[in-house]
Structure 1
Amino acid sequence: MVSLGGFARKIFGSSNDRRVKATRPRVEAINALENEMRALSDEALRARTEQFRQDIANGATLDDLLIPAFATCREAARRVLGLRPFDVQLVGGMVLHNGGIAEMRTGEGKTLVATLPVYLNALAGKGVHVVTVNDYLARRDSEWMGRVYGFLGLTTGVIVHGLSDQERHAAYACDVTYATNNELGFDYLRDNMKYEREQMVQRGHNFAIVDEVDSILIDEARTPLIISGPLEDRSDMYNTVDALIVTLSPEDYEIDEKQRTAIFTEAGTERVENLLKDNDLLKGESLYDVENVAMVHHVNNALKAHRLFQRDKDYIVRNGEIVIIDEFTGRMMPGRRYSEGLHQALEAKEHVQIQPENQTLASVTFQNYFRMYKKLAGMTGTAATEAEEFGNIYGLEVTEVPTNKPVLRKDEDDEVYRTVEEKYKAIIRDIREAAEKGQPILVGTTSIEKSEQLAERLRVEGVKDFQVLNARYHEQEAGIVAQAGRPGAITIATNMAGRGTDIQLGGNADMRIAQELADVEPGPERDAREAAIRADIERLKDKAIAAGGLYVLATERHESRRIDNQLRGRSGRQGDPGRSKFYLSLQDDLMRIFGSDRMDGMLQKLGLKEDEAIIHPWINKALEKAQKKVEARNFDIRKNLLKYDDVMNDQRKVVFEQRLALMDGDSLGETVAEMRQDVIDDLVARCIPETAYAEQWDAAGLKDGCREFLNLDLPVEEWVKEEGIDEEQIRERVTKAANDAAGQRAERFGPEVMAYVERSVVLQTLDRLWREHLVNLDHLRSVVGFRGYAQRDPLNEYKSESFELFQALLGNLRQAVTAQLMRVEIVREAAEAPPPEAPRVFGQHIDATTGEDDFNEDSFGDAAVLTRVSVDRTVAPEERDPSQPSTWGKVGRNEPCPCGSGKKFKHCHGAFV
């Protein structure tokens, strides 16, 4: 019985069929221009680029130019590369131009497809980014396809790791820029840490085509990109908090060793609040006020360090360092550190030197980075299974583009064994049989570790002629994968290895020529040897086809159908024969989760003997359902993470836009004056409330506030005693005094110096407060989940409290900028004094599949050079002039303030420095 939906699809075709069908008139129109294009000389073909640009300047849209531009690019590819895009490749190009995802099978030429929409969109002069999964592919594709763009008069740049800012700036200025997703994201973050517009390297986010879009926008998007740098030394705070925890009694906290949690009781919270107040570590009245989020986090860490972590069990102290012990293996893990201040809490507990923790300076998720592009498109061999996620998060529609030739690959039913041992015996037997008849074999595993295990088993069984490949060394990997189609070749690879490289039956002729003839000069001898290699490749291809084509053998199912389909899609390119089969055991991860205990018992009752497999289409369907459940759960996790990041992203946009406005403004005098006025208004409103009587006014508080924020010693006590004076008059006097002092300072410095000082102070202060805000949001995020126990929605709580923190950031910014600008002095440094070293900052992106940091050895030395008005330096107390802050140099936070007020520096002149 056919469902109504199925009946409609039979009559009208699916929505995908209709989208593909809609492109046919344009494909025919492009084909109709082919003879006209072939008749043009190289110069005439190249001149069309300038004509198209003129048409755009005269008001033509890119859609108007699609047919002639695609025809021009197709002809250029034929002349330069010897490759003429097929009709289905034109369809793929149109899908990309329309801002969608083109699902095209492996071997259908996605790299070439991208040239069509890239050329068309680059004509507008706003830059087009082509995003790849690794540096090797970015370099390869930019050199390979860059020949087509260069022939047509466009410039091509490439962004890979290790380039200077000047090189990056030049690459982004090109018409077409190839780059990896990590480099694009880090450049965006670094640009928003610069202090001058000219130092920024990116020039906007116009149009991006993402190659292997499922890998980049789904697999890698599970973890954010982070730039971090060392925090200032906060040893005093950790030691003080540690000393407080030691004084607590067992009634002050509750420990759950099973769940590894430690929480304060009500009495304990009150006691900790009082102790923190006594040590000037608490803001406001309550420990749980929003501005104390970071302090709650550090106090909880100190409690965990003392009550949950045991010396010589969870860690040891060796050579004055805390070394973590792995709870599963019992091995020491030197170099590894607990994050978010926990390691520092342990160092304080054991009284060893406290190393500064790294602080997040900037972060962004790939979801929010790529959603900044005005138009986004992607291509891959497997996207249909994740179509819902692409639609919901990125607004991208997936279109399955038909293959150029029918797919002849035979996808066999899965073979399920009871144990891993039985499964591996069958796999090795099958590999031997296929290799003996000359069939090339690609063995897919789910991890590097399992690749090595299978390789070891093959060696023991006497099979020695094979290649082991994992997704670590991209260039070597491409070379190995390219030759995996040779007759009898056995290649063991993780599922992700070698993506972006085509497996051709018989081997890859171009790669063989590059390797074997690297030292041979151009000439008749090289031509003859090249022809011999190509003839040999054709002979080997015929042999591989006769043996059945590429055999893809998978050692287990992945939790995502998409990854399985990627592996299967390696075989059967461009109408070649091939086959694929998955081997499973009840001890595999997915089968175990699926409930193998019941299945094992059932299979034994049915009389399944050792080394026998169960093979049935029902098994495939049951596994597909299990995979769908896992995919749905993973999608929910990613969606939930994104909801939290969206809150931060809204704030990030405001701050980054504000930075750009500050950098672009000629003078910030007006902005600074408004900030100063807001500070005065807040100060007067706090100390002289509208409804209060004169005797209730806080004259001392207003005087202290004027000294703290405005660097003014005003006779406020005398003013409030005057007959008939009101709040407005006091505000006017404070405003006049502040404006006069600011005016005198500006006159002394001169307009140019003052403009530079204002911009530097505002940007530095905004960056410092934004970094602190990011830390507070991280800490808030780590504890807000507990609100669910009180029947409150954690996401709504996070939204409201993060908004409060952001409002506090804006208030602190006004106060800090005003306080600094009312004190700032120009310090003349000795000419021979060396410039200050730029702080080291580090990039981090955790690979969600391996848990490894893609950038664990990298640091961006000058990526976040902070402009300073003066250089910190230590000055002896006797050399300081109390009335001249410019002579104080670097003052410790807890030292008495050099002005002679009797307060600690952090509560006086250092309150916002």
Structure 2
Amino acid sequence: VQRELNFAIVDEVDSILIDEARTPLIISGPSEASSDLYYRVNAIIPRLKKGEMIEHRDGKIGQSSREFTGDYTVDEKAKSATLTEEGVSSVEKILGIENLYDPRHIEVLHHVNQALKAHALFKNEVDYVVKEGEVMIVDEFTGRLMPGRRWSDGLHQAVEAKEGVKIESENQTLATITFQNYFRMYDKLSGMTGTADTEAPEFAEIYKLDVVVIPTNRPSQREDQSDVMYKSEQEKFNAVIEDIRHSHAEGQPILVGTISIENSERLAVQLKKAGVPHHVLNAKHHEQEAEIISQAGRSGSVTIATNMAGRGTDIVLGGNAEMLAKAAVNGDVEDERYPALLEEFITECAAEKEKVLAAGGLYILGTERHESRRIDNQLRGRAGRQGDPGASRFYMSLDDDLLRIFGSHRVAFIMEKLKIPENEPIEHGIISRAIENAQKKVEGHNFDIRKHLIEYDDVMNRQREVIYDQRREVLAGKNIRGTYNAIIEEMVEDIVATFCPEKAAPADWNMTSLTADYASQFNFEPNLPDLVAKGDTELLDEQLKKQAFGRLLEKEAEFTPEVLEHLMTVLLLQVIDSQWKDHLLSIDHLKEGIGLRGYAQKNPKEEYKREAYSLFMEMMGRIRQEVLQKLFMIQLVQQDDVEQMEAEQKKRKIITNRSDQADKPVQPVTRDEDKVGRNDACPCGSGKKYKKCCGQ
């Protein structure tokens, strides 16, 4: 049992509570979904044509019409891909079905939507890598691989089908909670990070946490230069290569930041052509991370890294003597050469540090701005540590995702008006402000998504608290008899209220249905003499409860109190877990379609709250019903009965096997070992002939 959630101190708190806020923590179990449909649907998507949305304005404010071309459209801002009417017709034609939106084909529609997402929105070596026949997710914030993590709702299987690797079985959610709500369960919460200031409003609104900025130990000497903007990506990369060559020749160590594995490897190819020695650090080569980072501060070294070098990494100027010495003895610090090598490298690194400081310290060169300013600040923060000198600069182009999706129009307009020629950069405060505004727009967009998520998850959170409190009480063994007594009382009251309403005359009471319902619930028919004639529902209620408790006492005498309490505990846990799992599935289905309520002029959030509450109350009723049915149906089986049942099963199995064998042709008897002749040596090892030994 998990202990009480009293106090948490979260390291890199912005990474956990903001970047990971949308990540649900899921406990899952295997489901019985087939993988064949994923392969079938996957073959369809490449045959569909990508289109776009064209908006027609008729000159009047607020009036416009939309036209969709192709088979599907992609909205990169919302990270969604949608079939057009033409696309739906194409899919129906290929699959040979009449109506894709028919309830019978709901599973096919779901597979098509996920396959479309996998092809249109998820890119190899950007969002994931394929390693040893497995699709591994790449963390968009750190650039690291996340082994063991899988996208939910069949998306991971769709990506596996796209890449032609083995499709792992789909899992069904048994329990789920978001990072946001998990950490809000703690009585006290705190954390530390170097980059929380830009997210102070979100920490205050969602977590009720204040952000306090602690001044640096020594004044920062890092020079953060203005961003440089180019028209095309190729022009930008040419300028980056030239800048790297120049700084490398000066002996300045350079850390080049990229936002994807694809870009890091593209840059590595161009540096190789330019004859610049370098190291690449990304999710594909993460095994050498410690070694590469330890030498990233050496004179003239060039290290290309994805975001994984941005957080919690300390680059020592001049190189890390300890790591160099360890590498020289293959990690064996017990080697007798190690102390002498360590001394030698300490002297060498100290001399090299002076050279690096003279060259201007570590130079951070960003090849693209990230969606979040915090990630850029983390990369910049690798230079100028503990008062050392350093510099940073970001290179950008109009083709970069950030500007292409969230705000290139204004920047492109400026560059057009200024008549900027090819291969000519622009450095201006307007550009930096436009980029910062684009980042703020993305951060605001992502904050709205997280806020929207937590508003919906808060509904589930209240339900989760009720269920988990109930489970915790059961696991702690607190008053299990009291829990069952309350369930029995509630069940009897429900039965009486349903079939014998207070305002109805006794002649209108449905005693036949009451008796049948009571019997199905408690596994015996109640004895109700003269109670209908008296017309007293309270007396009826009391009598039914008394008989149910009487039967429970009989069970206790049959099983002993200790055994019965153990059975009660196991039963209640099993039923709660089973019903909660089904409830989560119902809530997922509710969430998927709730947005459509907006078309009926209803508030989707209020509708979700109302229906989720209704589903929850239904689930609580089913828990009571199932627990009592199972408890009152349990029978004590004697050992003699068990042996008799086993004997009967064995007999039936023999008869079945005989009938199966009857139609088969008789097979000749075969031996696995060689035949032993009568005069051969006996195989038992006695040294005698077989006929005189075991063959007698």
Length-normalised TM-score, structure 2: 0.73
- What is the aligned partner in structure 2 of residue 632 from structure 1? 444
1:786 paired to 2:599: no
- What is the aligned partner in structure 1 of residue 172 from structure 2? 359
1:338 to 1:576, Cα distance in 2 relative to 1, 3 A: closer
Deviation at 1:433? 0.8
- What is the aligned partner in structure 2 of residue 798 from structure 1? 608
1:527 paired to 2:339: yes
- Which residue type is aligned with residue 499 of structure 2? C
Match of 2:431 among 619, 640, 651: 619
- What is the aligned partner in structure 1 of residue 232 from structure 2? 419
- Which residue type is aligned with residue 24 of structure 2? P
Alpha-carbon distance between aligned partners in 2 of 1:730 and 1:505, rounded to the nearest angstrom: 86
- What is the aligned partner in structure 2 of residue 11 from structure 1? none
Answer whether contact 1:478 1:498 (CA < 8 A) is retained: no
Match of 1:230 among 30, 47, 64: 30
1:625 to 1:227, Cα distance in 2 relative to 1, 3 A: same
- What is the aligned partner in structure 2 of residue 689 from structure 1? 501
1:672 paired to 2:474: no
Alpha-carbon distance between aligned partners in 2 of 1:232 and 1:730, rounded to the nearest angstrom: 46
Match of 2:223 among 407, 410, 430: 410
Answer whether contact 1:440 1:487 (CA < 8 A) is retained: yes
1:489 to 1:696, Cα distance in 2 relative to 1, 3 A: same
- Which residue type is aligned with residue 279 of structure 2? Q
Deviation at 1:527? 3.1
- What is the aligned partner in structure 2 of residue 813 from structure 1? 623
Answer whether contact 2:310 2:382 (CA < 8 A) is retained: no
Answer whether contact 2:21 2:180 (CA < 8 A) is retained: yes
Alpha-carbon distance between aligned partners in 2 of 1:599 and 1:581, rounded to the nearest angstrom: 18
Answer whether contact 2:198 2:374 (CA < 8 A) is retained: yes
Classify the secondary structure of the residue corresponding to 1:692: coil
- What is the aligned partner in structure 2 of residue 273 from structure 1? none
Alpha-carbon distance between aligned partners in 1 of 2:4 and 2:155, rounded to the nearest angstrom: 39
- Which residue type is aligned with residue 375 of structure 1? K
- Which residue type is aligned with residue 389 of structure 2? P
Alpha-carbon distance between aligned partners in 2 of 1:330 and 1:631, rounded to the nearest angstrom: 22
Q: How does 1:202-241 map to 2 (within 5 A)?
A: 202-231=2-31
Alpha-carbon distance between aligned partners in 2 of 1:733 and 1:484, rounded to the nearest angstrom: 82
Alpha-carbon distance between aligned partners in 2 of 1:548 and 1:218, rounded to the nearest angstrom: 34
1:711 to 1:209, Cα distance in 2 relative to 1, 3 A: same
Match of 2:104 among 291, 294, 302: 302
Deviation at 1:600? 3.8
Query: Which has the greater radius of gyration?
Result: 2
**Unaligned stretches of 5+ residues in structure 1:** 1-199, 236-255, 263-297, 316-322, 345-353, 834-872, 880-913
Answer whether contact 1:414 1:620 (CA < 8 A) is retained: yes
1:544 paired to 2:356: yes
Question: 1:526-579 CA deviation, whole Å, 9 max, x = no partner?
Answer: 433322111111011111111111010000111111111111111111111111
Alpha-carbon distance between aligned partners in 2 of 1:482 and 1:379, rounded to the nearest angstrom: 24
Deviation at 1:222? 1.9
1:604 to 1:424, Cα distance in 2 relative to 1, 3 A: same
1:559 paired to 2:366: no
Q: How does 1:229-378 map to 2 (within 5 A)?
A: 229-231=29-31, 259-260=82-83, 302-304=104-106, 326=119, 358-378=171-191
Deviation at 1:663? 2.1
Deviation at 1:367? 1.3
Answer whether contact 1:224 1:363 (CA < 8 A) is retained: yes
- Which residue type is aligned with residue 21 of structure 2? A
Classify the secondary structure of the residue corresponding to 2:395: strand
Deviation at 1:472? 6.3
Question: 1:388-425 CA deviation, whole Å, 9 max, x = no partner?
Answer: 11111122222221122211111111111111111111
- What is the aligned partner in structure 1 of residue 559 from structure 2? 749
Question: 1:129-179 CA deviation, whole Å, 9 max, x = no partner?
Answer: xxxxxxxxxxxxxxxxxxxxxxxxxxxxxxxxxxxxxxxxxxxxxxxxxxx
Match of 1:644 among 435, 449, 456: 456
Classify the secondary structure of the residue corresponding to 1:551: strand
- What is the aligned partner in structure 1 of residue 213 from structure 2? 400
- Which residue type is aligned with residue 672 of structure 1? Y
1:679 to 1:640, Cα distance in 2 relative to 1, 3 A: same
Deviation at 1:693? 2.4
Deviation at 1:828? 7.3
**Unaligned stretches of 5+ residues in structure 2:** 36-68, 73-81, 86-99, 125-129, 136-149, 158-166, 653-696
1:387 paired to 2:200: yes
Q: How does 1:127-276 map to 2 (within 5 A)?
A: 200=1, 202-231=2-31, 259-260=82-83
1:776 paired to 2:621: no
- What is the aligned partner in structure 1 of residue 577 from structure 2? 767
1:343 to 1:511, Cα distance in 2 relative to 1, 3 A: closer
- Which residue type is aligned with residue 632 of structure 1? G
Deviation at 1:662? 1.7
Classify the secondary structure of the residue corresponding to 2:20: helix
- What is the aligned partner in structure 2 of residue 436 from structure 1? 249
Deviation at 1:599? 4.3
Deviation at 1:593? 3.1
Alpha-carbon distance between aligned partners in 1 of 2:620 and 2:181, rounded to the nearest angstrom: 23
Answer whether contact 2:558 2:636 (CA < 8 A) is retained: no
Aligned length: 561
1:335 to 1:705, Cα distance in 2 relative to 1, 3 A: farther
Q: How does 1:9-48 map to 2 (within 5 A)?
A: none
1:492 paired to 2:304: yes
- Which residue type is aligned with residue 402 of structure 1? P
Answer whether contact 2:313 2:382 (CA < 8 A) is retained: no
- What is the aligned partner in structure 2 of residue 482 from structure 1? 294
Alpha-carbon distance between aligned partners in 2 of 1:528 and 1:234, rounded to the nearest angstrom: 62
Answer whether contact 2:492 2:541 (CA < 8 A) is retained: yes
Classify the secondary structure of the residue corresponding to 1:645: helix
- The root-mean-square deviation of aligned C-alpha atoms, in Å, is 3.8
Alpha-carbon distance between aligned partners in 1 of 2:224 and 2:4, rounded to the nearest angstrom: 45
Give percent identity, aligned residues only.
48
- Which residue type is aligned with residue 201 of structure 2? E
- What is the aligned partner in structure 2 of residue 704 from structure 1? 516
Deviation at 1:448? 1.5
Answer whether contact 2:474 2:569 (CA < 8 A) is retained: yes
Alpha-carbon distance between aligned partners in 1 of 2:650 and 2:152, rounded to the nearest angstrom: 37
Classify the secondary structure of the residue corresponding to 2:392: strand
Alpha-carbon distance between aligned partners in 1 of 2:106 and 2:256, rounded to the nearest angstrom: 46
Alpha-carbon distance between aligned partners in 2 of 1:579 and 1:335, rounded to the nearest angstrom: 39
